[in-house]
Amino acid sequence: MNKIYLFCILMTPLTLSLAAQSSNRDNATSENLVLNGDFESGVNRPTGWDAPDNLTTFWTTKGTRSGKCIKMDTDVYMTDWERRKKELKENPDAPAWSKTPTSGNKYDTIGGNDGVSFYSAPIPVKKGKSYTLCMDVKSDQPHATPKVFIKGYTLHKGEMRVIYKTYLNCRLKGTAWQHFEQTFNPTAKTPTVADMRVMLFSYWPPSEYFFDNIKIYENKPIIK
């Protein structure tokens, strides 16, 4: 049976450690559990990730130090986004087109409303294990706060439903690439979590945001 992933929260999200410290990696294994976390693999889309809509999400070399990354543009009118979403539903290969230039207070942009999200493929979760999430983020807005979520799923009546959620606020200082880390344990209070997915997210202020080097490491047991 194919698993259907529903993006609905069945419980209050759990926000765990938000520390962005290199010491988190000292207790982690060397294997990155995120498929294609550096976004270098793929043909028309990054392997192991959503297909970019080429209006609010892009698989691009723009903004990178080398190679490819994910760019999000939240400075897009909601009317443009609704139009793009409808045409991609009818034809996933619909050609891209240029957005309408925005003006005014920008409250009618996607950044002032839903925000932009981009998901990884599911990653199996081991019961009782803690993990370290790492990523590099930048924006043209020096004080923006994009987020990176971890959503945990369990099988319920043939559907994979969200029962766990934690996120890292990436509080930017300047416009250069910055590194962030967070430790988390999906099954500590929700033991039936079977899979997790990374969700990249950006919203206000309306601007361009960039994500790269998304990694999740399984932490080693703590020996007392």
Condensed to tens digits (0 to 9), the pLDDT of residues 93-105 reads 999 999 999 999 9
Secondary structure of residue 34 in the 3-state scheme = coil
CA–CA dist 180, 170 (Å, integer): 7
pLDDT band at 65 (very low <50, low <70, confident <90, very high): confident
The per-residue pLDDT for 16 is 35
Closest CA to 201 of 108, 159, 139: 139
Which pLDDT value is given to residue 33?
A: 98
Question: Which numeric CATH code is attached to 4-95+110-218?
Answer: 2.60.120.260
Q: Which pLDDT score, from 0 to 100, does residue 17 have?
A: 34
Q: What pLDDT score was predicted for residue 78? A: 98
pLDDT tens figures, 21-33 = 444 556 666 799 9
For the question of whether the overall pTM of this predicted structure is more than 0.85, the answer is yes
Cis amide bond preceding 205, omega within 30: yes
Asked whether residue 76 carries a pLDDT value surpassing 80, the answer given is yes
Which residues, including other chains, have CB under 8 Å from residue 110's CB and lie 6 or more apart? 56, 74, 76, 77, 78, 81, 116, 203, 206
Q: Which residue has the tokens 């009782």?
A: 128
pLDDT at 106 over 80: yes
CA distance 63 to 173: 16
